[in-house]
Structures are given as structure tokens and as C-alpha cells.
Amino acid sequence: MANTTRNLLLFSLSCFIPLLFRPTCSQIATIAQGQQLKHDQELVSTSGMFKLGFKSVHEDNSYLGIWYNGEDDNLLWVANRNTPTFGSTGILEIDDRGSLKILHQLADPVVLYSVEEPSNTSATLEDSGNFVLHELKRDGSIKRLLWESFDYPTDTLLPGMKLGINSKTGLNWALTSWRSDKSPASGSFSLGLDPSDSTQWAIWWRGEVYWKSGSFQHGFLEVFLSNSSYDFFYVSNENETYFNYTVKKAVTIFPRLKLNSEGELVSYKADSVASQVSCTKNMSIGCMKLNVPECSRSLGNNVFQKHVGYMSNTGFKFSETDNLSRIDCQAKCLDDCSCVAYASKNDDGTGCEIWSTGVSFTESGTGDNKLDVKREVFILEPRENKWWIWLIASVGVVMIVPPVCSICYKIWENSNRGGVGKMNQRVLFDEIGGGAMASTKNDTLISRRTDGHDNQLDVFSFKSIVAATNCFSVGNKLGEGGFGPVYKGKLVDGREIAVKRLSSHSGQGLVEFKNEAILIAKLQHTNLVRLLGFCIQVEEKMLIYEYMPNKSLDFLIFDSEKKYMLNWKERLNIIEGIAQGLIYLHKYSRLKVIHRDLKASNILLDHEMIPKISDFGMARIFGLNESEANTKRVVGTLICHPWHCVNEN
């Protein structure tokens, strides 16, 4: 028996180990003195989370930058933002004196750090995303830190980075936007601590205050921090004053705060993007009114609308030395009372060209100006004030949706009302082990905890599940498996749930439904998914689980980008958790259980990345003294495509 359990465990784990671990022998995180990192080479942090190398952002301009492994197009830090290298000529080097510099043809080197006297140094890309230069002792151990990229941020604040001032060294930890999405050069917006009140953040546009957060306790920061997935810290002493932050959850996908070229402060978390501050689109709290001519103020609700097409003639082009962003160009247009349109002059979204009255725009053809090319043009247009339409639509939704859901529910209930359905429903309750049939009209849930069973399982009414899942809306749908669709829901008490709804054309059926409900109710382990209850209403059968915010293991390890968010420690913890769950099933539970369909998609991950074995529809219960059994059905997941199986006989 012990050998059988061990063999099953080893076989199960062998399926996951190759998926979770990837060879990294060829990856390096450090360059030593005298070594070079060429244009086609990269440094990779020890955990595999970050990469450093040269990137071509637009045309032949190349930049040394850091990015998340799996998000190659989103640079987090740029070393030479205002002095790009050309083509593939860029080389990162630690010279024989120990200085760190970027070499490229036809120009002087970009010196990142110059040592005062010859030293033994090395540069490392750390797991935090920080690129550091250390002076080494004779034995190769670290003597001191000489330079770090975290002291010179560009437009992105990573967990662990500081936003503030070091009064001892004179460093100002602030973000400066890109000039455009295709140009990392220093833009027109910056984010830092307000000199007049270091407990609040401020955004400046060309040196003019553009937005203020309010103090740490009584403003934007308080609202933002309370709703954020980040933990923020404020530190102030005689040497430095700064904010920094960490990630609350064990895993948040590619976390960062970014000041974009439009002056918006954007947060990235859990594979989502949210604009926290915007003074050009929705006028966030704290936005300052900029000085504009009286004629521009009289325009009232007029706004610039983006169009793609051709202008009838050439506009006024500002000098390239102005280094203008799109927002700068918009401001130039507003300063000119005759301006009716503007556009970026260059392909990378920089520069500025404006048009005065008397021009025309067309979406096709070239107009009168044969030299004009198709481009994005922002044209001043009246904003249609349609508040009454939104008001009517909002009232209509509030008044119509609840009755429609209620009518749909009544139609469904009446169409399924009958003796056979009621009989099947009662039989299922009895087989699962409930005495809850008497109260199935309850609007929330029906407790079955007084029926003599020691398992704590709830019976939910169909109406409560309809409300929790927003009428099984597409927006609430998490996915679909052999059992049927799975929906995310929220109960009236605030609990988040996952609802597995048995589909009429499901590859699984009543046997698997009863098997899973009965089995999971009798099993309790931290590495097994928790079944909260079930719902049976005539032909509707649903299982109600605790909601797993980090989805399933296959969602991470099989995704070319998201697989890098799991570091080695987390992967090992996941493997150990799966093993603990299997040992419990095979050896220590009240029932000896063989899962028979263990795969990455059936391993769910909670908010702390603790693995939970799920989907026990195919599981088989053994007697305590049994080590083998026969089956009349082939179960599990098909791993051979039909056409491949036919070709290979």
C-alpha cells in the first residue's frame, strides 16, 4: 500500500515539475570588469523577473533599458533616454578602471558612473529590477554600493523605489514622463514630492503645478492607498524624505506606477491598467487650472477630437528645439485664438504643427496639399451636451433590468415546474445528504447543518445565485470546462464565489455532480478547494466554491508573459502544496481518494498563491484496505489530439 501511494504521488508530481521549472543555465545577471554587454545580449535577474538590454523603440534609435521578462515592449527604466545609440552599435561596458558606460559609434560614450580611482567593480541586475554597480574586495565579495538605477528613475515607479528627496546626497527621486509613446526622451511632465508639503505628491507640467494629491492623510493618497493593492510607506528623517511601496498580495502581475506622456498617473496591477490621475480626460481631484487666453476660455465646452486623415494645407510648424509633446502642442494651439487643429509633426509623436481658420480636413484623398500625408489630427469641435440622454438611459437601466431578470426567472421557474423535476430534485438532495428540501424558496440560502451531518455545506436558492452572478452575464463568466460554464459571483453578505453550472450538453453529468458534492464535503485540507454549497432547482444544478482570485496554474505557466511572475520559491511552494494535498487524499483523509484528472487547470491558486486541488468529478473512492480497483469508464483528460492519434494508429 505504501509503495502504491508513493508511486502515485511521484507520477503526479512528475507531471508538474517540468512545467514549473525552466532551465536558466545560459542566463546571467552580472557583468564583471572588462566585460561587455552587446546589442544582442541581455542580463536576466536571478529570479527571471527582469531583463536588461538594448531596445529599439522607434526606427533605428536604440536604448539601454530594463523591462519585465514577458513584457518586452514596456521599458521600466532607460539609461540613455536623451542620447540614443544608432542601430545595433550600442555596447554596455565596465572599463579597465571600473567605470560603467555605454559605447556607441559616432558619439562620445554615455557615462553612467565614473570611478575616482581604478577599482574592481561589477554590475548586477537584481530581482527588484534595480541595476547596481558594486565595488568589490580582493576576494570578490561586495565592498560598497557605488551606483544604482533606482536613484535615477525615468517614468516608472517599481515596488521598492523611492519618490522623494535625499538631502544628504542631493538626489531628487522623481519621475519624468516620456516625450511620446515612441520617444523615451524627457517629456513635459514630472512627478515628485511637493516642496511646500512633503506629505503630498505633485505633478508639474513644464515647471508649472499641474496636479496635487493632497496630504498623506487627507487627500488623493488616502483614497488611492485605501483602494490599492499596494502598501505605501512614508519616511522622513534628517537625511531623506520619501514614499515607497510594496505589493500586498503574494503575486501581482507586473506591478508598477507610471507617469505617461499625457501627464496621467497610471497603475498596473493584477494584469489590469487603471488611470489614477488624469487632468486631460476626466479632471481628477487635485487638477490645477492652467492659464489660457480669454478667447480660449470663451470656447466653453469645445474639445479636441482625434481624427485620421488629411489637412488641406500645411500648418505652422514649431522649431524642433522646442522638444514638444502632444500635450505641449495642444497648449500651443490653445494659446493661439485662431487655432482650430493641431498634430504631432514627427512619426514618433513629437513636434508640433497647428492650423488656423480657413483650412479643411478630409478622411480620404490628399486634398489641395499633394505633399500632405495621412496622420492623426486633433480638431477643435463643440462638445455635445447630452446629459439628458445619459440620465434617461441610466433611469431606464435601473427601472428595466430588475423586472426583466424577474420575468426571466418566473418564465424559467414555470416552464420547469412538474412532477418529474420535483422528484429528481428531491432524490438529488437525499443522495447528497441533505434534508433541505423544505425551504428551497428562500431567497438567500438554505442551511443543511442540522441534518445530522458533520460537514458544513449550504444549499443556495437559484434566485440568490442569479442575483450573485448578474443573471449569469458574460461579464461574470470565468471560463468553461467539461462540467459546464463557471461564473464569478458576489453574495449579499459580500463573499465572492465561483459557480460551476452543469450544462445540458456537458461531457460530465449527474454522476460527477453528486460525486464532487459528496466527496469535497467530506474532505478538509488547506490544499483542497473548499466547496461552500450547491444549488438544485428542477433541471438546474450548480456547485458553489470559494473564489480563487489568481485563477488556475495553467493560466500562469502556459502563458508566454505571465509565466515569469512565479519565482523559484513560489513554484516550489506550489509543488509542495500539491504534494501535501495528494498525500492527504491517498493516506490521511477519512476516505482514500484517487483524483484521476490531476492537471494544471485543476490546480487553483488563492490570493496568497496557495495551491488548491479542484474538480473531483472523476475521483474514485477506495476502501481503506484496498490498493487497486477496476473501472468500466475511461476518465481523465485527452492529451492526444484525434488526428494525431489516427496518424500514429
Q: What is the spatial distance between Cα 456 and Cα 271, in angstroms, rounded to a whole number?
A: 35
User: Is the dihedral angle over the CA atoms 506, 509, 515, 520 positive or is it negative?
Assistant: positive
Catalytic entry in 322, 347, 597, 615: 597
Residue 254 CA: distances (Å) to CA of 70, 155, 379: 9, 15, 36
152 with 226: CB under 8 angstroms? no
How many Å from the N-terminal Cα to the C-terminal Cα in the chain?
35
Cell numbers describing residue 192 = 515628485
49 with 33: CB under 8 angstroms? no
Place of cell 564583471: 32
Q: Helix axis angle, 568-583 relative to 2-20, nearest 10°? A: 160
User: What is the H or E stretch that residue 501 is in?
Assistant: strand 496-501
Three-state DSSP at 632 gives: coil
User: What is the H or E stretch that residue 42 is in?
Assistant: strand 42-44
> How many CB atoms within 10 Å of residue 300?
9
> How many CB atoms within 10 Å of residue 289?
8
- State yes or no: is 597 an active-site residue: yes
Q: What is the spatial distance between Cα 433 and Cα 281, in angstroms, rounded to a whole number?
A: 57
Q: How long, in residues, is the chain?
A: 649
User: What is the H or E stretch that residue 394 is in?
Assistant: helix 387-415
How buried is 271 (Cβ within 10 angstroms: 0-12 exposed, 13-18 middle, 19+ buried)? Answer: middle
Q: What is the spatial distance between Cα 508 and Cα 486, in angstroms, rounded to a whole number?
A: 14
Q: What is the spatial distance between Cα 138 and Cα 125, in angstroms, rounded to a whole number?
A: 22
Residues classed as catalytic: 597
